[in-house]
Amino acid sequence: MEIHIELLLGTKVCDVDGEDVGRIEEFHVQRDESSCRVDAYLIGASAVIERLSAWTLVRPVKKLLHSRNLLTVYEVPWQDMDLSDPQHPRLRIAKRDLRHIK
C-alpha cells in the first residue's frame, strides 16, 4: 500500500486503547545504496524541534528550566505502527510502553 508521507505528517495518532498520543512530526530513515527504509516515527509536539533542526535554540532554554520531561518525543519503531488507515494511524502498543527520546 502506498502512503503519502507529506500528508501523513501532522496526523493525530492514537494508541491501542484509543488514547491520544500526539501528531506524527518526523520519520527516522535508514538509507543505503538503493533503498530508504523507515525505522521509526517521531510523535509529539516537541518532535517539531527535530524537524526544524532547532535543538541549539531549545537546549539552553531546557537547561535553564532544569527539566528532563519538559520536551518529550515518542519514538515509535515501525513494527508498532498500524497504518492500515492512513488517516487514523494507530499504535499497536499502549502509550505507557512508548520510549521517550532526548
Partner 1 sequence: MKLIRDVLDKKLIDLEQCDMGRVSGLVMYVGERSQPHISHILIGGSTLWMRVHPALARVSNRLAQLWGPKHKGAVRIPWTRVKSVGRDIKLDVEARETGALAWEIWIARHIIERIPGGGKEEVE
Partner 2 sequence: MRLKRLLAVLNQIRAKSLLVVPLLFSTACKPPTPTEQMASVISWLATAGMAGDAWLRHTTPDKYTRQTLELSHDTLLQISDDLLKSLPPGIDTASLDNVLTRSRSRIAQMARLVEAKNSPAFLSQLDSLRADQKIVKQFSDSIESKQ
Partner 3 sequence: MKKVLQITLGIITSVGGFLEIGSVTTAAQAGASFGYQLLWAVLLGTLCLIFLVEMSGRLAAVSKHTIVDATRERFGFPFYAVVMLGMVLVAFMVLVAELGGIGLSLQILTGLGFPWWAIPVSFLVWLLMWKGTFRLIENGASLLGLVTLSFVVAAVKLHPEWGSAAHGLLPTMPGDQKAKYGFVAVSILGASISPYLIYFYSSGAIEDKWDESYIPMNRMIAGFGMTFGGFLSMAVLVAAALALQPKGIDIDKFDQAALLMTTALPKWGFYLFAFSMLVACFGAALEISLAIAYFFAQGFGWNWGEDLEPSKDSRFSFVYTIIIFLAAVPLLFGVDPIKVTMISMALTAATLPLTIVPFLFLMNDPIYLGEHRNGWVSNSVVAIIILISFVLAAISIPLQIIGG
Which residues of the chain form contacts with partner 2 (CB under 8 A)? 10, 23, 25, 45-46, 48-49, 61-62, 65, 70-71
Quick one: which segment of 27-35, 53-61, 69-77, 92-100 binds partner 3 (CB under 8 A)?
53-61
Q: What are phi and psi of 54, to 5 degrees?
A: -105, 20
Helix (H), strand (E) at residue 73: strand 73-77
Q: Taking Cα atoms as reference points, which of 66, 45, 49 lies closest to residue 57?
A: 49
Compute the least distance from the CB of residue 1 to partner 2, in Å.
25
The binding site for partner 3 (CB under 8 A) comprises 6, 9, 51-57
